A and B are shown apart, each in its own frame.
Chain A
């Protein structure tokens, strides 16, 4: 059974009641919310995802509750509750859907220490994964969205999940977060791409989420070995350039981009070192998505 098998009314009732138990990659979430925007977003972006019985075990329970008291009617709010406790400050009710996605990420980065978790996009081609770590504003998600519409498979746009057992990178297969100018860039680049409504005036500006392609979703239980580690940087007007970078420096930089390197300690260092030793490390500067796709097409053939 998938989310699409539920009518809009059934989906809303399940979310408002016992919760919708959803599988995304290696995790199951119990999503609970009485907010219409959540039901609409989940119905649209997660339509093809497997739904488990509402009594099934879930790794995380994510509750996006409505505001309390007068906040139910005046300037409504959305609140993320984890195990009944608030985690973030409440946001305007209009931002309920992005809050859900951010909350789902928080659950993983705060708890899933069976993985070394890097703040990075991951894509795959011919069974080999490319890790794209980068700070906000570097164009990571734009590049990731463009490449998954250019023949690369999406594993994750936000969290690289490196198994501590074997170093394989597991797909998370969640919608790709895009913001501000990137939204129109991807609309033009990939007319096939499907988005949910744009939410304006968030802390990150205007944000939307791009639906995962069905051919990627059907492979969400297929991990991949890391082959490339590429640090992207969008620079308006720059020529496309892919250059080698030190693997030792890359190891240090990748650790800085990890959510739980400090938690994992020496085992994390060992695992990260093993990943780096299996990768070619590069810096990538770009301003044109089509040029970027061509460069990565050639890279995937090496």
Chain B
């Protein structure tokens, strides 16, 4: 069970200064969210990670206040969060350097804002996206802008990258993710806590298990329920296999981009076998339906011994091909020195997951704030790399595939020795709860607010959202043909970022 977060109230005018001071003392800025209140006021909460805990610093904006001093000038990683708050609530962070639409591009005169926390708004009918003046940040002779997306070549999620280039070198890049905004957070308000987990599984489909666990963890913290050890172990088995699948996807896309068709075929073959194994364990290729509030739906569908055998076979096959791939100079040359995020930039932004770990940040929720099975199993994060390029990110992923298999096997071993219930009943929920897990993309946070058992606000902060804001930083001096590797090695989900 995650301990309850410490909450500190401040005046809206003091929010930026308070958060900036905490960050300068060594805390990591982990998010900024707003919640509309029934009385017309809005709560703004900043999350800070430090000393093995997540703390909340919050301020209340009175009815009609509509503005507060922005965090971004003092805490740059807050930029996307404040754009999101501006889009969803119409609140102005004073002093924000660039309040472009991020999640919503609609005519704000025709619609009220969605304001998650109160009743959902009517469907958007009037879109406004000014394409005649594509945002450009760099000026100069011979410079032009490529709007790349939202429909791109190949099977990709919809997103638009606006690439400013001289023809080959990428001068600047920014991403527009609003195409995929589904209004998920408002939708949670219509569902009960038990159905909410089904929606959580669909926020970021390639990290279904991680989202389900984080969401349930928030409810469990709120209800003061400790998940039975057996259930925690089953959760860990599925979560670790999900991590392997996600990392294999990233590696396969790197191989595809480099024209390594044999490696691509092999890696996608392993991924298919893994998805089938996951389906064998629970009946769903993405592990949906496994995690329920208070535990898991039931036991694995095959015996732990059988699962162990299948895991070993797969682990060896992947290991063999990984070694061959990391021994292919023509492939490694494409990744080396490509898309560099320096340790300084990574630390300033608080880069999450494999992206951060490839740039010198040793951080992982599984060891910083151990939850569920990781308390039983113990977990030491892999040593981080610090070259910060696409190659380092791929090395980190291969390393994590090894540890994920190791953890899954340990969990299966433990599982055969444990008895007890698969899930516990949650009491009627009241208050605010946080859940955090290490998803394949990095730290995932759920904040759940409930009144008399009804969900009034569910906020998810996927690592994809936080890391995508860092994406442009990876293009220092890279050329258009490097794009594929930078995107694949970041391994982000647009669905998770757009919400």
Verify that A and B bind, or say they do not: no
